[in-house]
């Protein structure tokens, strides 16, 4: 038997029946799937917040990606790396989830669940679209801090004279590197004296961001200088051979 076409009367009943199915799906399977996604993203957020504080953990994440043959670019954010490890090859969703994680790490109140945070923002896509500048700024701050930690771990002291670490100058056990902050006063004879010290992590993290930016600028300036020197040398050799 051939299927009877819908009449104007039955089309309404069909639409209403489909709406009922959609409501059942939204409040059942769809809601359960979303709840599970938010719970998983919340766990990824906690992992991200822990890993970004420890250089050795970041290195382990990078090694894990290599071990599992997940190819990432050198400038890929930590959040994206974690998402790719957990969710696999999920296409553009990896960047969406990574942005949600990075935004939540900065903006979500500690007492608020990730699900509520996302709902208040208007959904995952709204978090991604409306917080792009914040995400980029947060990623940039993290990258500067990590760069400073890498350089300062092996950099030669700018003042060779060793000092005694008083209680004020003792690094915090919470710091990735054994670093503290000293306030130096210039004396009348041109020498310097340490007049205050602290290991406050908030101030130290901000200072590492500043250091990372400045050290990167030094590195880029040195590279540019080397490139100019190479060009001048090459030109001189050409002239000499003419």
According to DSSP, residue 125 is labeled H
Give me the pLDDT at residue 56, please.
Answer: 83
- Cβ-contact 117, 108 below 8 angstroms: yes
Query: Residue 39: which H helix or E strand, with range?
Result: helix 31-51
- Where in the chain are the domains? 12-130, 158-241
The residue to which tokens 């500690």 are assigned: 110
Q: Is 185 helix (H, G, I), strand (E, B) or coil?
A: strand
Give me the pLDDT at residue 121, please.
Answer: 79
Give me the pLDDT at residue 139, please.
Answer: 66
Average of per-residue pLDDT across 83-99: 86
- Report the Cα 56 to chain-centroid distance in Å: 15
Average of per-residue pLDDT across 62-84: 85
Go through the chain and tell me how many residues it has: 242
- Cβ-contact 54, 145 below 8 angstroms: no
- Cβ-contact 174, 238 below 8 angstroms: no
- Cβ-contact 127, 107 below 8 angstroms: no
Q: Would the pLDDT of 6 be above 90?
A: no
Average of per-residue pLDDT across 161-182: 86
What is the reported pTM? 0.49
Q: Would the pLDDT of 213 be above 60?
A: yes
Question: Mean pLDDT, the chain, as a whole number?
Answer: 82
Question: What span, in angstroms and rounded, lies between the C-alpha atoms of 89 and 146?
Answer: 26
Name the percent of the chain lying above pLDDT 90.
Answer: 10
Give me the pLDDT at residue 189, please.
Answer: 93
Burial 197-216 (b: 16+ CB within 10 A, else e): bebeeeebbeebbebbbebe
Q: Would the pLDDT of 7 be above 80?
A: no
Give me the pLDDT at residue 76, please.
Answer: 84
Q: How confident is the model at residue 106 (pLDDT cuts 50, 70, 90)?
A: confident
Let me know the angle formed at the C-alpha of 128 by 127 and 130, rounded to the nearest 5 degrees: 65
Tokens of 111: 């007492």
Give me the pLDDT at residue 116, please.
Answer: 87
Name the percent of the chain lying above pLDDT 70.
Answer: 87
Q: How confident is the model at residue 13 (pLDDT cuts 50, 70, 90)?
A: confident
Tokens of 71: 């190819």
Q: How confident is the model at residue 32 (pLDDT cuts 50, 70, 90)?
A: confident
Question: What span, in angstroms and rounded, lies between the C-alpha atoms of 76 and 162?
Answer: 39
Q: Is 37 exposed, middle or buried (0-12, 13-18, 19+ CB in 10 A)?
A: middle
Would the CA dihedral through 96, 98, 104, 107 be positive or negative? negative
Would the CA dihedral through 88, 100, 107, 201 be positive or negative? positive
């Amino acid at each position: 038997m051939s299927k009877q076409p819908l009449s104007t009367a039955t089309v309404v009943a069909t639409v209403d029946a489909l709406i009922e199915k959609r409501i059942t799906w939204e409040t059942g399977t769809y809601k359960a799937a979303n709840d599970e996604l938010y719970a998983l993203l919340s766990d990824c957020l906690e992992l991200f917040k822990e890993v970004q504080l420890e250089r050795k953990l970041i290195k382990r994440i990078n090694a894990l990606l290599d071990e599992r043959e997940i190819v990432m670019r050198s400038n890929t954010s930590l959040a994206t790396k974690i998402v790719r490890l957990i969710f696999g090859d999920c296409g553009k969703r990896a960047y969406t989830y990574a942005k949600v994680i990075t935004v939540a790490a900065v903006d979500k109140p500690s007492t608020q669940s990730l699900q509520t945070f996302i709902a208040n923002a208007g959904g995952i896509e709204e978090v991604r679209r409306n917080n792009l500048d914040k995400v980029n700024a947060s990623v940039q701050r993290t990258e500067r801090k990590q760069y400073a930690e890498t350089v300062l771990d092996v950099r030669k002291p700018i003042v060779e004279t060793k000092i005694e670490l008083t209680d004020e100058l003792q690094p915090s056990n919470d710091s990735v590197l054994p670093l503290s902050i000293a306030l130096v006063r210039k004396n009348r004879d041109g020498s310097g004296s340490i007049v205050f010290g602290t290991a406050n992590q908030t101030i130290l993290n901000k200072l590492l961001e500043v250091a990372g930016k400045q050290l990167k600028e030094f590195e880029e300036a040195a590279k540019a200088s080397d490139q100019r020197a190479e060009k001048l040398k090459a030109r001189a050799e050409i002239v000499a051979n003419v």
